[in-house]
Amino acid sequence: MRNSLFVSIAAFCLLATSCASSIRSGCRQAETVSLTRADIPSVIEASDSLQTFDMEISFFGKHLNGMMLVKRQDRETVRILINSYFGMSMADFELRPDTFVIHYLLDAMNKPPMVNLFKNNFTLLFGAHLPEHFVAQKSLCRQSEELISAETPNGKYQYRINREDQKIIKIKAPGVNVEVPYPVYPFTITLKYRGIFGPTIVIREME
């Protein structure tokens, strides 16, 4: 019984390692480049017009659903609202480079793990987590794609990008993998936190 359990755990770990390393599949040898934050496209490009998304957070077999509203207020500020489908306000965030402000968060969600989850997700999706200037490793990959790997004070980030239209396809970040199937309609983002009990977040643009 113990041997069977050990084999199952080992197989799971090997599978997880294999999946995690797939972001480098088909890429050539890397070269060192100097980049700025603006050189990495945002997963979600905030605009002056209101953007609406479905959002689902799944963890421990439970699901939290809501509607995410996004609008750029100025060149450096993005406002993010999360409401229930019945119109109840659940969260109100303001995002700037290196700054994450909570204007409102439902009491039931106002816990350190949830706060960190929202902060990490939105800084990653809107490109606010990277330093203004940084050194990275850049590789050309198959299918007109490229891989950019950057070591930052917060850990290592890897981005698989379509070079033709500068769209992010995958991200491997500390603790989380992001997948953005392209081209797929409606625009869908899936964040899968690594670990047995890691949550999964799906964000889907509403028609």
- Element containing residue 119 per DSSP (H, E): helix 112-125
- pLDDT score for 184: 82
pLDDT of residue 197: 77
Mean per-residue pLDDT of the chain: 88
Residues near 155 by Cβ (< 8 Å), separated by ≥ 6?
173, 174
CA-based nearest residue to 93, from 125, 64, 65: 125
Name the burial class of residue 68, with classes exposed (0-12), middle (13-18) and buried (19+) by CB atoms within 10 angstroms of its CB: buried
pLDDT in tens, 86-101: 989 999 999 998 899 9
Q: Residue 177 — very low, low, confident or very high, per pLDDT cuts 50/70/90? A: very high
Ranges of each domain in the chain:
42-129
pLDDT at 2: 40
Q: How far apart are CA 123 and CA 131, in angstroms?
A: 12
Do 44 and 189 touch, CB atoms closer than 8 A?
yes
- Determine the average pLDDT of the residues in 22-40: 93
Res 154: pLDDT: 86
More confident residue, 66 or 143: 66
For the residues 172-197, what does the mean pLDDT come to?
91
